[in-house]
Structure 1
Amino acid sequence: MIRTRLTTIAVVAMAAAFAQSALAAAPEALGKVHFQTSCKPDAQQDFDQAMLYQHSFWYRASQKSFEDALKADPECAIAYWGIALSLLYNPHVAPPVKNLAEGAAALEKGKALGAKTQRERDYIDALGAMYADYDKVDHRTRVLAYLKAMEQLAQRYPDDDEAQIYYALALNVAASPADKTYTNQLKGAAILEKIWTRQPEHPGIAHYLIHLYDTPALAEKGLAAARRYAKVAPAAAHAQHMPSHIFTRLGYWQESIASNIESGRVAKEAGDFHDQLHSMDYLVYAYLQLGQDGKAKAVIDDMTKVTGFTETFLPAPYALAVSPARYAMERGDWKAAAELQVRPSPLANVQAITYFARALGAARSGNPEAAKIDIAKLAELRDKLRDGKDGYWSEQVDIQRQVATAWVLYAEGKRDDALNAMSAAADAEDKTEKHPVTPGVPRPARELYGVMLLDSGNAKEALIAFEATLKKEPNRLGAYAGAATSAEKAGDKAKAREYYEKIVAIADGADGSRTEISDARAYLNKL
């Protein structure tokens, strides 16, 4: 039995390591982690340093430190486990194929070298489930196999906190987006909450609790971890960003902005361009909810200048595709949405974002024939994802196709068919979850259903749709605007006043370019 003890990696040692690797400026603090190994003392120190980086998803730095551990002790076989772990990148996203080949090779070296303890050999074997037949077996199947392997590891070593922590993370990664009981998330959170009391400075615990609670029904439970993580590991860009997952779920836009400005700064200095663009995506989303469109546009312009990321790893390409789509769709600039250019990408789900925005923009601009061309492309991309056994993203792209199709029907005057199709698309989206990489879909289907209901004269039903959107995604400016107008047209003066006041409050620092904000002020001035 092993009870992991805590040790603090000296700031001077970390600074020296970074000076040698030129990966980033010397970090001030990354938290406290100790992963007991059978390696020599110098290698143990490098290994613990690697784990600090790894628990904050700082992969280049963690891989470098694991490699340093091998240099300090060529017999440190468990370091190959660490290298393979680093090469997986963010476990919520399928890694590049190149990384899978390199990680599998690293694990084979570790096995061939032979770890000195059964526990270390078990760690290597468990991670092997993520790499086994990676060229033949899809990512989701391997994730489920890894979850089973980690469950067995955690059961075998109940007093090994690192085993429990990685099992909790695996529970979240493997959770079904259609499971609204959140069985995996609650189980993983219970494991981590218990360990947190004795390891309050462990970066992975606060980090993974945020991921586990990153859903509307659980977000309130994640506030403590969100408030804590950035303080535990202030030198890590991901630690600065992760609190915004919870802030976004709760509609705390100013907190999200502050979190992602700092995250983007740290990531830029470190040359971690995926983290930089990821934080900028969240920043754009938050600015748009406050009506600060000029600031959102400035961030988008800066995003186009970021280079040096991996096109086959989702966060950066996704951010570059979704942010201009958000900017057009949140502001109701349908002509601009229809004219968006599809950025070349090997990722079908990334291409789909722009085709969706184009299709919806064309339909809303009165050009259903142009929309149909982009809808056909969405169907093609959906099938490509389905053939690749990517069930989650194929479903998301199909929901986009359904939404765009509904608005084409509406543009063609087939209102009953359009409303039925839009209702079905909103139901489908409500049954799943947003991906951990994104702050939200380009625009919620339930909110767009409310827009269609309101436009067709069904104000009471529209109000229900907008209020349902706000329950799932609090403090969305577009949902407030829709709810206020719907309540006014439905004759519900109390709710109209409530929602117009929400608009004015949330848009206190807005640019003044949104008509819904000026309409809200005009309504309240008449009272």
Structure 2
Amino acid sequence: MIRLWRVSVSLLFVASLSSAQEMHDHSIPERLGEVSFPISCAPSVQEQFNRGIALLHSFAYASAEQTFQGVGRMDPQCGMAHWGVAMTYFHQVWSPNLPPPAFPMGQKEMLEATRLGAKSDRERGFIHALGALYRESNGLTSSMRTVAYEQAMAEVARKNSRDVESQVFYALALLANASPTDKTHAKQKQAIDLLQPLNREYPNHPGIAHYLIHACDSQELAERGLPAARAYAQIAPSAPHALHMPSHIFTRLGLWNDSIESNLASRQAAHQHGDTLDELHAMDYLVYAYLQTGGDKEVSQVVQDMKAMPKLNMSNFGIAYAATAIPIRDAVERGRWDDAASISVPTGAPPSVVAIAVWSRGMGLARTGHVKDARENVDRLRQIEAQLRLSGDNYWSTQTGVLASEVMAWAAQASGDPHQALVLLRAAADQEDAIEKQPVTPGPILPAREQLGDLLLQEKQSELALKEFQTALAEAPGRRGALLGIARASQHNDRAELY
């Protein structure tokens, strides 16, 4: 039985946020659950160190950084304090590749952690593992560093099989390296096998519940994540991220009312905490769920609220993605193609976000018969695709390629070439289905396979359309577009049988 010194962490919200941690920084909740990470530093810093670990498990990176820095001031000889600060720069799951500004800061902290060392082999193992991520070498890519960290954490977990945090941090390392192209979800299943037994024994540990949800965020595994989804918000009920995270599983299972409730609560808490990123993230998932229930009025209100928000930092990927996707979901899912064509391309946003706006414009133009203008947007998407590929961002490069193929398909349809349109859309659907979504999004704004079903219906191939809609629904249960498509295709088939 794993022994755990349990410390219940109850915290008052601290409003200050560090701009360096804005990427995915969840504000401090009043209750963080029960965690323990025993260290051999001065006994007086143990409670504050546990506080920092709890904040890490809720992805409250800026506040965790401040807490670990405080530990270092209280005990200047505590190497693990510097390990903790360096951990706050490593945003696993959300953005495992270290952003350039954070890397030298992390290296500096790890040099100090290594210099000071620690009294226990376990602590030295944690320092060594993170040192593998931050070590000096210009020849190492970000992915090579995260793999080295995972391998080192595997050794920490093996040597400390009875230590909870060793197992939990190793599970998180596995998730950081889970490939979106691996539809067997091998690393996610490894993480689940580590976390589920711990979850039964330590039901109030926030990291265990949190990471189980991330591990199960796929159609194959979503049912296994439902208990953790139901529990996480109760473990940290004041945390915007804890209130939101269950909706990842609810979305996968088509539990729209549960998702709406989850994201309404998360949005309110994030707004109260001044957490713009979490508020927009919840709003994006909220719009997605409202659209599936036909809540057009509610969607319009969220879009208006988003447009009324103060000037947003569009250089921040998470903020830019949600702020861009929300009005596009509203236009595209409701078939308002003129509105889709008039979407503004965000200034200063990352290329992967710009691509979504360009796609919206191209789709709107193609679906309203403006073929030449639509193809100009395809050219721009191909440029962004190449730019992302050159930068090493293969995931978003692939996604942008799918978007370009979709616009090309509808442009071909509008120009009287339905065969080419079907070829392009089928290839796009197959490519999209072969890669998992990232946590930033509840799903594609308009799944390519749903589009393929719509195109087949336009070409009066209702039996083939029905199969595509059924496949789309199996991948994303409860989606309104697929359900309506099945109804329309079935109606066409019934009529055909009468003649």
Structure 2-normalised TM-score? 0.93
Residue 187 of structure 1: which of 162, 187, 190 is its match?
A: 190
1:11-90 equivalent positions in 2, closer than 5 A = 11=10, 14-15=11-12, 18=14, 27-90=29-92
1:221-274 CA distance string (max 9 Å, x none): 111000000001112111000000000001111111111111112222222221
Residue 377 of structure 2: which of 348, 351, 374 is its match?
A: 374
Q: State the alpha-carbon separation in 2 of the partners of residues 66 and 306 from structure 1.
A: 33
1:200-349 equivalent positions in 2, closer than 5 A = 200-306=203-309, 311-349=314-352
Q: State the alpha-carbon separation in 1 of the partners of residues 218 and 78 from structure 2.
A: 39
Deviation of 1:134 (Å)? 8.3
Q: Are the structure 2 counterparts of residues 115 and 291 from structure 1 closer, same or farther at C-alpha, using a change threshold of 3 Å?
A: same
Q: State the alpha-carbon separation in 1 of the partners of residues 316 and 6 from structure 2.
A: 33
Residue aligning to 2:169: 166
CA contact (8 A) 1:209 1:225 kept: yes
Q: State the alpha-carbon separation in 2 of the partners of residues 492 and 140 from structure 1.
A: 54
Farther off after superposition, 224-233 or 356-365: 356-365
CA contact (8 A) 2:172 2:211 kept: yes
Q: State the alpha-carbon separation in 2 of the partners of residues 130 and 347 from structure 1.
A: 25
AA aligned opposite 1:71: R
1:356-375 equivalent positions in 2, closer than 5 A = 356-375=359-378
CA contact (8 A) 2:382 2:404 kept: yes
1:386-405 equivalent positions in 2, closer than 5 A = 386-405=389-408
Farther off after superposition, 127-136 or 375-384: 127-136
Q: State the alpha-carbon separation in 1 of the partners of residues 456 and 387 from structure 2.
A: 33
CA contact (8 A) 2:57 2:207 kept: yes
Residue aligning to 2:456: 453
Farther off after superposition, 152-161 or 387-396: 152-161
Farther off after superposition, 150-159 or 202-211: 150-159
Q: Are the structure 2 counterparts of residues 2 and 218 from structure 1 closer, same or farther at C-alpha, using a change threshold of 3 Å?
A: closer
Residue aligning to 1:525: none
CA contact (8 A) 2:325 2:356 kept: yes
Q: Are the structure 2 counterparts of residues 237 and 26 from structure 1 closer, same or farther at C-alpha, using a change threshold of 3 Å?
A: closer
Farther off after superposition, 89-98 or 22-31: 22-31
AA aligned opposite 1:74: P
Q: Verify: 1:439 aligned to 2:449, yes or no.
A: no
Q: State the alpha-carbon separation in 2 of the partners of residues 281 and 39 from structure 1.
A: 43
Farther off after superposition, 44-53 or 98-107: 98-107
Give SS of 2:144's match: helix
1:8-41 CA distance string (max 9 Å, x none): 13x3xx33x8489999998442100000111222
CA contact (8 A) 2:82 2:113 kept: yes
AA aligned opposite 2:4: T
Q: State the alpha-carbon separation in 2 of the partners of residues 492 and 215 from structure 1.
A: 37
CA contact (8 A) 1:81 1:107 kept: yes
CA contact (8 A) 1:277 1:316 kept: yes
1:371-393 CA distance string (max 9 Å, x none): 11111111111111111111111
CA contact (8 A) 2:157 2:166 kept: yes
Give SS of 1:437's match: coil
AA aligned opposite 2:146: V
Deviation of 1:421 (Å)? 1.1
Q: Are the structure 2 counterparts of residues 266 and 101 from structure 1 closer, same or farther at C-alpha, using a change threshold of 3 Å?
A: farther
Q: State the alpha-carbon separation in 1 of the partners of residues 106 and 2 from structure 2.
A: 27
Q: State the alpha-carbon separation in 1 of the partners of residues 69 and 400 from structure 2.
A: 40
Q: Are the structure 2 counterparts of residues 329 and 398 from structure 1 closer, same or farther at C-alpha, using a change threshold of 3 Å?
A: same
Give SS of 2:31's match: coil
CA contact (8 A) 2:26 2:61 kept: no
Q: State the alpha-carbon separation in 2 of the partners of residues 319 and 3 from structure 1.
A: 42
Deviation of 1:138 (Å)? 3.7
Q: State the alpha-carbon separation in 2 of the partners of residues 192 and 493 from structure 1.
A: 53
Q: Verify: 1:4 aligned to 2:7, yes or no.
A: no
Residue 115 of structure 1: which of 97, 114, 118 is its match?
A: 118
Give SS of 1:178's match: coil
Deviation of 1:102 (Å)? 2.0
CA contact (8 A) 2:28 2:60 kept: no
Q: State the alpha-carbon separation in 1 of the partners of residues 125 and 172 from structure 2.
A: 18
CA contact (8 A) 2:388 2:397 kept: yes
Q: State the alpha-carbon separation in 2 of the partners of residues 134 and 303 from structure 1.
A: 43
CA contact (8 A) 2:314 2:346 kept: no
AA aligned opposite 2:81: A
AA aligned opposite 2:439: P
Give structure 1 stretches of 5+ with no counterpart: 495-527
1:93-152 CA distance string (max 9 Å, x none): 145322223222222222223333332222122123333458764433332222222212
When the two chains are superposed, the root-mean-square deviation of aligned CA atoms in Å is 2.4
Q: State the alpha-carbon separation in 2 of the partners of residues 324 and 132 from structure 1.
A: 42
AA aligned opposite 2:282: S
CA contact (8 A) 1:462 1:486 kept: yes
Farther off after superposition, 24-33 or 37-46: 24-33
Q: State the alpha-carbon separation in 1 of the partners of residues 105 and 224 from structure 2.
A: 38
Q: Are the structure 2 counterparts of residues 411 and 203 from structure 1 closer, same or farther at C-alpha, using a change threshold of 3 Å?
A: same
AA aligned opposite 2:41: C
Give SS of 2:416's match: coil
Residue 152 of structure 1: which of 155, 165, 177 is its match?
A: 155
Q: State the alpha-carbon separation in 1 of the partners of residues 28 and 111 from structure 2.
A: 33
Q: Verify: 1:485 aligned to 2:494, yes or no.
A: no
Q: State the alpha-carbon separation in 1 of the partners of residues 308 and 137 from structure 2.
A: 34
1:172-202 CA distance string (max 9 Å, x none): 2211222222211111101001111221110
1:256-310 CA distance string (max 9 Å, x none): 1111111112222222221111111101111111111221122122223445876
Deviation of 1:493 (Å)? 10
Q: Are the structure 2 counterparts of residues 398 and 283 from structure 1 closer, same or farther at C-alpha, using a change threshold of 3 Å?
A: same
Q: State the alpha-carbon separation in 2 of the partners of residues 95 and 351 from structure 1.
A: 22
Q: State the alpha-carbon separation in 2 of the partners of residues 384 and 488 from structure 1.
A: 44
Q: State the alpha-carbon separation in 2 of the partners of residues 82 and 339 from structure 1.
A: 46
Q: Verify: 1:104 aligned to 2:107, yes or no.
A: yes
AA aligned opposite 2:464: E
Give SS of 1:32's match: strand
Residue 475 of structure 1: which of 474, 478, 489 is its match?
A: 478
Give SS of 1:491's match: helix
